[in-house]
Structure 1
Amino acid sequence: MARSIWSGYVNFGLVSVPVGLYSATQEHEIDFHQFQRGTSDRIRYKRVNERTGREVDYGKIVKGHEVGDGEYVIVEPDELDDIAPGRSRSLQIDTFVDLDEIDPIHFQKSYYLAPSDQENASSYALFRDALEKTNRAGIATFVMRGKEYLAAIRASGKVLVLATLFFADEIRDSTKEIGDLPVKSKADKQLKMAVDLIEAMSGEWRAAQYKDSYTERVKKLVESKHKGKDVVVTEEEPEATATTDLVSALRASVDAARARRAGGTKKSAAAKKSTAKKATTKKTAAKKTAARKKTAKKKAA
């Protein structure tokens, strides 16, 4: 069993539930080291004193915040721990909200919450089941590794999932970041076709059907270069659809999407029909076998 990366208590009202926090996700990107081109010399990073040019041990490094004109306030690690709310051991829930009310832009990273001991497993189960029944998420704050987090705690099957959230002031204003954006579309015909395309391409969310194809390509690139083979790139960069071609592109896309859906429906129907036929064949075979057994018994008698 994996070790928890944080442990403490989920607090709501006067109730405290001891829990441990575990990573719920892992990325599968390819690791690369850095080398000087044309050599096998690794590039290393060192913590260097900019005045003396000497390397400094990690244990001798403290943090400093600039307050203006090159002046810094130095802060020790234990000073940060001392001001952490609840000594970094409390997940304090302030309110419960409908999960659908949270804009997805706020979600950051997901973790599992598990009971930290079996003696309090029943209180964990009670909290989890209550969240599931009410379809609510508990909004909490907690401190981990010198940083305060906003979090949403929800039930997911047998486990509680904690998703860290961006605070409101961490979300950048789209207008300030991007500038002017297109006004509401007035092209009714094109809008209707775009809606038709979305409807034709709609389906159920199945996470397992999506694969990280880029990482697979990187693996093949590394393998090919290791074997001394040339790497051939066949995929071309897409081009923007011209406004004059938009209607025809939408129409063709809708027709193609509907054709794919129709093909999928036919395959599904054929598969069901085949399954039903096999079941009927098995029943018929079973009846014939039973009939033979009865005939054999009569003859024996």
Structure 2
Amino acid sequence: MRPIWKGSISFSLVSVPVQLLAATEEHGPGLHEVHALDGGRIRHRKVCELDGREVAQHEIARGWEAPDGRTVVLDEADIAALPLPTKRVIDVVGFLDIEQVDPLMYSRPYWVSPEGASSERPYALMTEALARSGRLAVCKVAIRSRERLAVLRPRQGILVLQTLLWPEEIRDPGDLSSPSPVTDRELMLAEMLMDELAGVDIDQLHDEYAAALEQLVDAKALGAGLAPALEPGPVVDLMAALEESVRAARHARGDEEREQHQDD
């Protein structure tokens, strides 16, 4: 992994040189756009809407539309010259308990690595202090020409910087709650079902859509097809569905426990 950002964590009078590395990578299905008639690749070209000419990457800048309709053009030098204090600094502005940050705000995670021997001790101190306190360090940082809200949190001895959406970027959902009442019996059965299904090994879960897509591609390449998937029917009787789900979960758990005993 190569660092995508270098700077320092600024916490009061403490400065910790660090670098950021991408913590995740998405694995898509590998599909691309083609012409349905002949399979030819579809290419998207960047064309100026004024003169109709295809524009090379080095000719592309950023633009902002002024209230009077004029376009203000900004190039990379203009953006690089912005007097942002967080351009090379992860500025810690305070601390919050973990439950005080709405998970809806979480965005992209980055591994934080100490930069140089002199930063290792303050890095370790900050990581351990956050782990002991159960708090998050709320900070601001500029990544890819945009200042972002973020939190620092520990994970297995490593600091993670997780960018957040700004509060104004969270849409107001209005009232989407259901007005339908539930009974104590329904709640009890739902809780029993959750108890039966408690404990899941996330590392064992995989992208079944990607696997099915790969099977479909293989079948189509051979001139065949796949049988259509069965669609689940609508739930008519909620109580009956809950009771049957609890029985099925207990039966499945019993089978798993018997298999474990046989393996032992």
Same fold (TM over 0.5): yes
Q: Report deviation, 1:224.
A: 2.6
Who is 2:208 aligned against?
A: 213
Aligned partners of 1:118, 1:250: CA distance in 2, in Å? 58
Hey, which bits of structure 1, 4+ residues long, moved more than 4 A? none
Indicate conservation of the 8 Å contact 1:81/1:87, yes or no.
no
Indicate conservation of the 8 Å contact 1:185/1:191, yes or no.
no
Aligned partners of 1:238, 1:83: CA distance in 2, in Å? 55
Aligned partners of 2:128, 2:24: CA distance in 1, in Å? 23
**Cα 1:186/1:258, change in 2 over 3 Å:** same
Q: Which amino acid aligns with 1:218?
A: L
Aligned partners of 1:132, 1:181: CA distance in 2, in Å? 36
Indicate conservation of the 8 Å contact 1:85/1:142, yes or no.
no
- Of residues 92-101 and 66-75 in structure 1, the stretch that sits farther from structure 2 once superposed is 66-75
**Cα 1:80/1:184, change in 2 over 3 Å:** farther
TM-score by length of 2: 0.91
Who is 1:235 aligned against?
A: 229
Please list, as runs of the form range in 1=range in 2, the aligned pairs for 1:1-301 lying within 5 A after superposition.
2-68=1-67, 70-86=69-85, 88-175=87-174, 180-183=176-179, 185-203=181-199, 205-226=200-221, 228-242=222-236, 245-271=237-263, 274=264
Q: Report deviation, 1:81.
A: 2.3
Q: Which amino acid aligns with 1:236?
A: L
Q: Deviations over 1:160-180 (max 9, x none)?
A: 1111111111111111xxx55
Q: How many residues in Structure 1 have an aligned counterpart in Structure 2?
A: 264
Aligned partners of 2:136, 2:10: CA distance in 1, in Å? 13
Q: Deviations over 1:221-244 (max 9, x none)?
A: 222333x141213422223312xx
Q: Deviations over 1:80-124 (max 9, x none)?
A: 222252261010011122223322111112110001222322221
TM-score by length of 1: 0.81
**Coordinate RMSD, CA, aligned:** 2.0
**Cα 1:254/1:5, change in 2 over 3 Å:** same
Percent sequence identity over aligned pairs: 31
Which structure's residues are more often helix, by fraction?
Answer: 1
Indicate conservation of the 8 Å contact 1:150/1:164, yes or no.
yes
**Cα 1:101/1:136, change in 2 over 3 Å:** same
Rg larger in 1 or in 2? 1
Unmatched 5+ stretches in structure 2: none
Q: Which amino acid aligns with 1:43?
A: I
